[in-house]
Amino acid sequence: MRYILGPRGPRGEDGAAGAQGPAGAAGAAGAAGDTGPGVAAGGSTDQYLKKASGTDYDTSWATLGAVSTYTPAITRGTTSPTLGTGNAKVGRYIQVGKLVTVWINIWLGGAGFAAGSGTIFLSLPVAAKTDAAWASGAHGTGYVYNGAATYAAVVALMDNSYGGDKVGVNTLTGLGSPTLASNGAVQLTMTYEAL
């Protein structure tokens, strides 16, 4: 018997998908990555982490609104005063960001005191930002005691010509220099923008 091969028939439909095979074995673990900078060690309750400089990851712990101390200097534009016996210079300040509030108390002392001459200057704990628009701008108030029950109200003046390290002290009326005297005192409170 002879068979004659006919033409190829059409392709049949695809069969159903087979069952999923078992999972393969896990690969080997990769190498550990470098340790990140993380948070600086130390600190205490209520402190916060702040940038210590513009360098990446350079941080330090700080207390918001902590009061710091410094020793204020008193000078004058022409001849600086010589403080007498028993003198005291006390400065306290708070810095939050760029905002600084400072309290200055200087007792001029007794024997050996010399007033000096020229504009009175008090040093600042943190360098102040100066701006031409603030020329002779008042940033604080206080008093000068002349040692004999007289108190002169004064204002603290910021001026580009003073630089950012000190503040000028002038009377409220006429903006002249108050009188410094033996056994007297200078007290000032001011708020300013740090550099």
Look at the chain and report how many structural domains it folds into: 1
- Assign residue 135 the CATH number of its domain: 2.60.90
Query: Which 3 state secondary structure label does DSSP give 184?
Result: coil
Strands 67-70 and 137-145: unpaired
* Residue 194: closest CA among 69, 94, 72, 120: 94
The pLDDT of residue 87 is: 98
pLDDT along the chain (195 residues), means of 10: 70 81 86 81 82 86 87 97 98 92 97 96 92 68 90 85 88 84 96 88
Residues 6+ apart with CB under 8 A from 187: 104, 105, 106, 142, 143, 144, 145
Q: 111 in a domain, yes or no?
A: yes
The pLDDT of residue 135 is: 57
Strands 137-145 and 166-171: unpaired
Structural domain of residue 88, as residue ranges? 65-193
The pLDDT of residue 100 is: 93
The pLDDT of residue 1 is: 61
Q: 164 in a domain, yes or no?
A: yes
The pLDDT of residue 162 is: 82
Q: 26 in a domain, yes or no?
A: no
pTM above 0.75, yes or no: no
Q: 109 in a domain, yes or no?
A: yes
Chain centre to alpha carbon of residue 8: 89
Q: 37 in a domain, yes or no?
A: no
